[in-house]
């Protein structure tokens, strides 16, 4: 394994019996001793490792090539490298990052069917050979820039049951695959396999079955033309959240059956996948601070005594009964880590909850939760019900690992939310990360920036 240093980050090793939640408590307590109440993302690396173990037991035949675009935090990439995963890169930048961690080029698939020529040349110069294509133009480009590329034909598949559809943008129709293979042959390019993506947030495992069957058809055509294809890439689309309507184990069971039917072990075809959100969604929690608050009192017609006990109703200073709605402003929002609310149909809502434990019978109030920028589109939740929060209190949001920090901006002068990493000693030993950049559990660093 190549030497590895965390340039931007340190990992906090959890002491015996300590959990990632305890770490959040500790950090919040430490913040209370300072003026700094910046939001942070807590990444639990044990969770990433557990996802990998679950992958191995459910899909033993399928080698994961993690989709770097989803969350390119160096410790996550390093853990996945250390357990033997490969990487799906979509650009020169991602290839550079993965190579810089010591990953061998053969563990990278450049899985973007429409690439910039200079990025193809970079891949060629650095020994990255596997790459996808879905058009003749792409084949012409690749033959100019990377003659020894090992090509994977990306198929458009039925993604009608997915929350994020990708085949509208990428993938060749099954009907055009013969023509594409012939063009590759005429250009003397090597085509080693087929890939597809059933769409993110796939709600029907039959989509994988249909796509695997389509891939079989392309393998058959390729055989007729004299290609010896050896790789099937079943893409991403595996659920990130644990409570997603279609579970990972159900999808995996159906994939295993379909592989057995269309690509039995004896056929010698290697199978890879490009999971993104599956690996990282649940590993990350956003911890954000209430930086401002407004109480909105809206006048109501007189109510009976019973109705007056409803917590969200109150008296205005002039004695009239009013609906009480809270507006909270957090220090992270849609231009920061929560861009998913605007662009990720597979995770278009979040559920903030208070760090402070509510007292028994504490009333809850309807609230709108805003992000920090001056833009009114910067809203996290329009109708949450929470116990009353004060400025300086903390709200937590789970399932924040996928397409969050990596898509955030510094719009309006708000800095990107920093990430802190935790893992248990067991995980540290298991993946054998070097220790100089790892903090002991009695050390908590508070950023003063
Ligand atoms: C080519 C490719 N592979 C893999 C992924 C990862 O998808 P997911 O996060 O749904 O697993 C994506 C997501 O856009 C993609 O475009």
pLDDT at res. 340: 96
Pairing of strands 40-44, 284-299: antiparallel
pLDDT at res. 297: 86
Per-residue pLDDT of 76-105, as tens digits, reads 999 999 999 999 999 999 999 999 999 999
pLDDT at res. 295: 94
Atom number in ligand 1 closest to CA 278? 11
Find the Cα–Cα–Cα–Cα dihedral 295, 301, 304, 305, rounded to 10°.
30
More confident position, 372 or 1: 372
Cα(207) to centroid(ligand 1), Å: 15
Q: Which domains does the chain have, with CATH numbers?
A: 14-43+284-427 (2.40.37.10), 72-275 (3.20.20.10)
pLDDT at res. 361: 87
Which of 64, 67, 211 is the pocket-test mutation for ligand 1 (most atoms within 8 Å of CB)?
A: 67
**Residue 133, SS3 per DSSP:** strand
Cα(200) to centroid(ligand 1), Å: 7
For residue 321, name the pLDDT band (cuts at 50, 70, 90).
low
CA distance 408 to 414: 10
pLDDT at res. 313: 67
Check whether 331 has a pLDDT greater than 50.
Answer: yes
What element of type H or E holds 286? Answer: strand 284-299
CA distance 64 to 62: 6
Residue 435: DSSP 8-state? S
Smallest CA separation from ligand 1 atom 7, residue: 236
CA distance 449 to 445: 12
Catalytic residues: 374
CA distance 6 to 196: 33
Check whether 65 has a pLDDT greater than 90.
Answer: yes
pLDDT at res. 172: 98
Atom number in ligand 1 closest to CA 111? 1
pLDDT at res. 35: 85
Check whether 221 has a pLDDT greater than 90.
Answer: yes
CB 171 within 8 A of CB 151: no
pLDDT at res. 335: 98
Query: Lowest-pLDDT range, 3-17, 131-145, 157-171, 359-373?
Result: 3-17
Average pLDDT, the chain: 91
Atom number in ligand 1 closest to CA 132? 1
First CA to last CA distance, the chain: 34
pLDDT at res. 318: 74
Check whether 284 has a pLDDT greater than 80.
Answer: yes
Q: What are the b/e assignments for 408-440, b being 16+ CB within 10 Å? A: beebeebebbebbbbbbeebbebbebeeeebbe
Mean pLDDT calculated for residue range 402-415: 96
Atom number in ligand 1 closest to CA 403? 9
CB 206 within 8 A of CB 168: no
Pick from 17, 8, 49, 46: nearest CA to 445: 8
Smallest CA separation from ligand 1 atom 1, residue: 111
CB 122 within 8 A of CB 95: yes
Which of 132, 236, 272, 277 is the pocket-test mutation for ligand 1 (most atoms within 8 Å of CB)?
A: 236
Cα(111) to centroid(ligand 1), Å: 9
Check whether 252 has a pLDDT greater than 90.
Answer: yes
Atom number in ligand 1 closest to CA 199? 10
Check whether 7 has a pLDDT greater than 50.
Answer: no
CA distance 217 to 212: 9
Query: Lowest-pLDDT range, 123-132, 354-363, 386-395?
Result: 354-363
* Phi, psi for 263 (deg, rounded to 5): -135, 65
User: Token digits for 79?
Assistant: 């853990």
For residue 310, name the pLDDT band (cuts at 50, 70, 90).
low
pLDDT at res. 216: 98
Cα(247) to centroid(ligand 1), Å: 17
Smallest CA separation from ligand 1 atom 5, residue: 236
Per-residue pLDDT of 189-198, as tens digits, reads 999 999 999 9
Pick from 131, 235, 135, 136: nearest CA to 190: 131
Cα(274) to centroid(ligand 1), Å: 6
| CA–CA–CA angle 129, 133, 139 (5° rounding) | 85
Which residues does a 6 A CB cutoff place in the pocket of ligand 1? 67, 70, 88, 111, 166, 197, 200, 235-238, 274-278
Q: What's the distance, CA 58 to chain centroid?
A: 20
**270 exposure class (CB count in 10 Å sphere: 0-12, 13-18, 19+):** middle
Cα(66) to centroid(ligand 1), Å: 9
pLDDT at res. 9: 57
29 Rama sector, left if φ>0, alpha if ψ -120 to 50, beta otherwise: alpha
pLDDT at res. 303: 55
Which of 109, 207, 235 is the pocket-test mutation for ligand 1 (most atoms within 8 Å of CB)?
A: 235
Pick from 80, 71, 82, 78: nearest CA to 52: 80
């Amino acid at each position: 394994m190549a030497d590895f240093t965390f340039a931007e980050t340190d990992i906090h090793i959890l002491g015996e019996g300590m959990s990632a939640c305890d770490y959040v408590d500790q950090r919040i307590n430490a913040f209370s001793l300072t003026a700094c109440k910046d939001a942070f993302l807590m990444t639990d690396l044990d969770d990433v490792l557990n996802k990998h173990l679950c992958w191995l037991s459910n899909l033993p035949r399928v080698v994961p090539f993690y989709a770097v675009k989803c969350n390119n935090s160096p410790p996550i990439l390093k853990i996945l490298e250390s357990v033997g995963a490969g990487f799906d890169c979509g650009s020169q930048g991602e290839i550079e990052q993965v190579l810089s961690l010591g990953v061998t080029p053969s563990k990278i698939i450049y899985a973007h069917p429409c690439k910039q020529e200079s990025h193809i040349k970079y891949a060629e110069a650095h020994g990255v050979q596997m790459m996808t294509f879905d058009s003749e133009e792409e084949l012409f480009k690749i033959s100019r820039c990377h003659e020894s590329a090992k090509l994977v034909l990306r198929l458009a598949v039925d993604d009608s049951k997915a929350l994020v559809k990708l085949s509208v943008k990428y993938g060749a129709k099954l009907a055009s695959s013969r023509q594409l293979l012939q063009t590759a042959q005429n250009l003397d390019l090597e085509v080693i396999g087929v890939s597809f993506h059933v769409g993110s947030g796939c709600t029907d495992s039959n989509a994988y079955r249909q796509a695997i069957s389509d891939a079989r058809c392309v393998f058959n055509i390729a055989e007729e033309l004299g290609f010896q294809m050896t790789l099937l890439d079943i893409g991403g689309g595996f659920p990130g959240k644990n409570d997603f309507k279609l579970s990972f184990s159900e999808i995996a069971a159906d994939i295993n059956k379909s592989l057995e039917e269309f690509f039995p072990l004896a056929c010698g075809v290697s199978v890879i996948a490009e999971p993104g959100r599956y690996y990282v969604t649940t590993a990350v929690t956003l911890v954000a601070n209430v930086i401002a608050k407004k109480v909105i009192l809206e006048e109501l017609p007189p109510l009976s005594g019973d109705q007056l006990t409803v917590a969200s109703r109150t008296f205005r200073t002039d004695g009239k009964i009013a609906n009480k709605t809270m507006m909270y402003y957090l220090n992270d929002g849609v231009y920061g880590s929560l861009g998913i609310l605007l662009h990720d149909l597979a995770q278009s809502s979040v559920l903030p909850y208070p760090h402070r434990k509510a007292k028994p019978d504490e009333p809850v109030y309807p609230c709108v939760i805003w992000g920090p920028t001056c833009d009114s589109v910067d809203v996290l939740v329009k109708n949450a019900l929470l116990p009353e929060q004060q400025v300086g209190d903390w709200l937590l949001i789970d399932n924040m690992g996928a397409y969050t920090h990596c898509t955030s901006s510094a719009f309006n002068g708000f800095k990107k939310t920093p990430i802190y990493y935790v893992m248990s000693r067991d995980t540290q030993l298991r993946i054998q990360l070097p220790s100089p950049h790892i903090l002991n559990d009695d050390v908590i660093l508070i950023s003063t920036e």
